[in-house]
């Protein structure tokens, strides 16, 4: 069966520091991969998606970037965090339009 791993679960980082969140999927090949952000009272916002290695699409202009160095690995990064980057970040995968599966999320607090 397929599983998705996302880490760390919580992170407190100072303003201006770098960020790296990692997500890996097991049990499937060539999944679509996604990064969503959830801010209080604002629902879920799609940040990036990838349909293959090295293929990244960005949905909103921002201080973040994403990379997909391997088929089942998706990384969210920032060179310098802003206060506004705080939120709950969710990695997800899908293999078809019929279902998308989410990781457990990372709570990022920028101080």
Partner 1 sequence: AQSVTQLGSHVSVSEGALVLLRCNYSSSVPPYLFWYVQYPNQGLQLLLKYTSAATLVKGINGFEAEFKKSETSFHLTKPSAHMSDAAEYFCAVSDDSGAGSYQLTFGKGTKLSVIP
Contacting residues toward partner 1, per CB under 8 A:
6, 32, 34, 41-44, 46, 49, 51, 57, 59, 88, 90, 92, 94, 96-105, 107
DSSP per position, the chain: --EEEEE-SEEEE-TT--EEEEEEEES-SS-EEEEEEE-TTS-EEEEEEEEETTEEEESS--S-EEEEEETTEEEEEESS--GGG-EEEEEEEEEETTEEEE---EEEEE-
Which of 103, 110 has the CB closer to partner 1? 103
d(CA 21, CA 9): 10
Q: Name the minimum Å distance from CB 34 to partner 1.
A: 7
Q: Name the minimum Å distance from CB 95 to partner 1.
A: 9
Q: Name the minimum Å distance from CB 84 to partner 1.
A: 19
Q: Name the minimum Å distance from CB 40 to partner 1.
A: 11
- State the number of CA atoms in the 13 A half-sphere of 46 facing the CB: 12
Which of 15, 51 has the CB closer to partner 1? 51
Which of 62, 100 has the CB closer to partner 1? 100
Which of 43, 61 has the CB closer to partner 1? 43
């Amino acid at each position: 069966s397929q599983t998705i791993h996302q880490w760390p679960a919580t992170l407190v980082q100072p303003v201006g520091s770098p960020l790296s969140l990692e997500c890996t999927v097991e049990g499937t090949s060539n999944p679509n991969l996604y990064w969503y952000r959830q801010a209080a009272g604002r629902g879920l916002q799609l940040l990036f998606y990838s349909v293959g290695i090295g293929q990244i699409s960005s949905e909103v202009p921002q201080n973040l970037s994403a990379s997909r160095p391997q088929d089942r690995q998706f990384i969210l990064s920032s060179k310098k965090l802003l206060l506004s980057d705080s939120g709950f970040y969710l990695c997800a995968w899908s293999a078809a339009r019929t279902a998308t599966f989410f990781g457990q999320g990372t709570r990022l607090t920028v101080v």
